[in-house]
Amino acid sequence: MWRELLLGLGWLSLGGFHSLVAVESPRQLGLIPTSVELHTPGEHQTLLAILERAGLPSGMAEGVVFTSADPAVVEVSKDGVLTARANGSTKVSAECNGLSATASVTVRVEGGEAEWSFNRHVLPIMSKANCNGGGCHGALAGKGGFRLSLGAYDPEADFLNITRDALGRRIESADPLHSLLLTKPTSAAPHKGGRRLDPRSEDYRLLAEWIASGAPGPLPKEAGLDHIEVLPARWSLQKGQKIRLLVRAHYGDGRVEDVTRWAKFSSTDETMLRLSDANGGVEVTGYGEGAVTAWFSSRIVMSRILSPFPSEGEQGSPEVWKVRNVVDENVNAQLRQLNLTPSAAVDDATFLRRASLDTTGILPTPAQTRAFLEDQSSGKRDALIEKLLSSRDFTDYWTYRWSDLFLISGAHLRPEAVKSYYQWLRSEVEKNTPWDELVRHVVTARGSSMEQGATNFFAVHQEPEAMAENVSQAFMGLSINCAKCHNHPLEKWTNNQYYAFANLFSRVRAKGWGGDARSGDGKRTLYTVPSGELLQPKTGRPQPAAPLDAPPAPDTEGTDRREVLAEWLTSPSNPYFTRAVVNRVWAAYFGMGIVNSVDDLRASNPATNEALLNALCALLVEKKYDLKALMRAILQSATYQRS
């Protein structure tokens, strides 16, 4: 009776959460984007008419009527596509089933003809058609005598290969439609790659006009791409719904362009989300939380989509919604969003076995099990957690676990070096050295491999590139290897960023290395020299040494560049460092990471519960990188103690 009464009032108290959640809120109509500025004659921008509920997009509006208040300034099609016509400002409205919304539009056209940019327009068309993909002309040797940089990471070289290579035979400025750049991808001329371009499309017209205008190359002062965005960035949908996404590119000169038609989309979970077309169409095919990534010009963004399970009715007793700490707060919130009920708590025997295995790697003895089961005190689980965290077995087990991350292996090091390295790490685990301090010690290690065990981290990767790759993988969960040859195809890291990062290690040297850490007696001395640079192979010049997404390190003579790296790497403001270790610890206790795989924190691999990951990162920073504090929070949580 009480449930029906609360439902009738429009409110329902969920489980033991003690907060009121609206059962149903009215839908509203919204236009995305709400403000548009166009700069080129004939430039397009699509408006999405979406239905919103409780502040989240909940579906596409159907039967929408779009109207431009001044068609002389901007026209709008029945599908919501804006086309710039003349300078001015106006409003575009949308009406659907008694709901309405408006967007403001400004047109600032400079000059009378459209100016197509090689970087902004020509290369994106070729990328979307996959002309510069790894299986086509983006291959290392190219295809059919024509080579492009993978994913358009080298615009200057691409321009020369398109317009100058092979005596410029691919471009016919006097007769654009007979240019091989157009006849090949449309299959008007034989093309092993098949048809990649429709001669009736806007992209075909754009390429033809670019060729007719003299095929201008990259402009030296042209504003570069600042960032891209996907709209909407978050949805709450039901299985079976179909939606559409928009991608907009923001350039350094303030211009914003609709680049949806040139973006590449992919689903992070094909069992839940399916791409219905190549231009941002998505169909929800399952339940859970997933994401669709959009790639444009080596930048990746993500739209998250929530699809709740069918309601289970009663959401369990208050006891199953028990909250001990931030773990439970965020896990419970996610379960409620997905209409899922938590499992019941485990019995004492199961908790003892689970906590012992996850924390110390060994089973409790029969005597320990009997004592724990006979203990009737209310705080015995917390007492067990403290006992496990302070045990010698904990030190042994977590030294073993971290040994893999720190590359302690007899396959790479001589026995005496392994011993020195292992003893150093075990000592740090035993002292519960904060994670940031421990990593800082490793990254800046110097001295004898026998006396300063941490120096052996650099013994198995002796080139600057390998040092950079291993530091990135171990302590940030990022694989930057692909960026060694070209811009990373699945990440935002560029070829230049890779060599800037690797250049931080260019002055690291070792005496007695002999080219192999397994050779000789394994004794080495690690040190740095005051000069030396790593050359970027593409330019033959060094990239200014810099951490990822950070300013270049000051080039002060006698300063170890790794000090700058360590300061940046272990900073709480580094978005990867804290997430990486939190994710690894979570995976040790739950069998899989909040981001899975644990060493794959790229932008296109989303967390299953972003709020939880952020909360645990904040906790670890607050506890000054005390990993035992993080483990304690996990072990004490009702989430960990569920069946």
- pLDDT block averages, 10 residues each, the chain of length 643: 33 33 66 93 92 90 96 96 94 94 92 79 94 88 89 89 91 93 94 93 94 91 92 95 96 94 94 94 95 92 94 75 96 93 95 98 97 95 98 98 92 88 96 97 92 88 89 92 78 85 91 58 82 88 90 80 94 94 98 92 90 97 98 98 96
pLDDT, residue 267, reads 95
Check: CB of residue 600 under 8 Å from CB of residue 619: no
Q: Which amino acid is at 481?
A: N
Q: What digits encode the pLDDT tens for the residues 254-298?
A: 999 999 999 999 999 999 999 999 999 999 999 999 999 999 998
Cis peptide leading into residue 318 (ω within 30°) = no
State which H helix or E strand residue 294 sits in: strand 288-296
Check: CB of residue 267 under 8 Å from CB of residue 569: no
Helix then strand then coil, % of the chain, to nearest 5: 35, 20, 45
Percent of the chain at pLDDT above 70? 93
Helices 435-443, 464-476: axis angle to 10 degrees equals 170
Token output for 210? 């670019």
Q: What digits encode the pLDDT tens for the residues 172-185?
A: 999 999 999 999 99
- DSSP labels, 174-212: TSGGG-HHHHTTTTSS--TT-----TTSHHHHHHHHHHH
pLDDT, residue 314, reads 59
Check: CB of residue 421 under 8 Å from CB of residue 413: yes
pLDDT, residue 219, reads 85
Cα–Cα distances in angstroms (integers) from residue 487 to residues 139, 491, 505, 575, in the given order: 13, 8, 20, 21
Q: What is the mean pLDDT of the chain?
A: 89
State which H helix or E strand residue 525 sits in: strand 525-528
pLDDT, residue 222, reads 87
Check: CB of residue 265 under 8 Å from CB of residue 296: no
pLDDT, residue 111, reads 66
Check: CB of residue 596 under 8 Å from CB of residue 557: no
pLDDT, residue 24, reads 53
Q: What digits encode the pLDDT tens for the residues 10-48?
A: 333 333 333 333 345 578 999 999 999 998 888 899 999
pLDDT, residue 40, reads 83
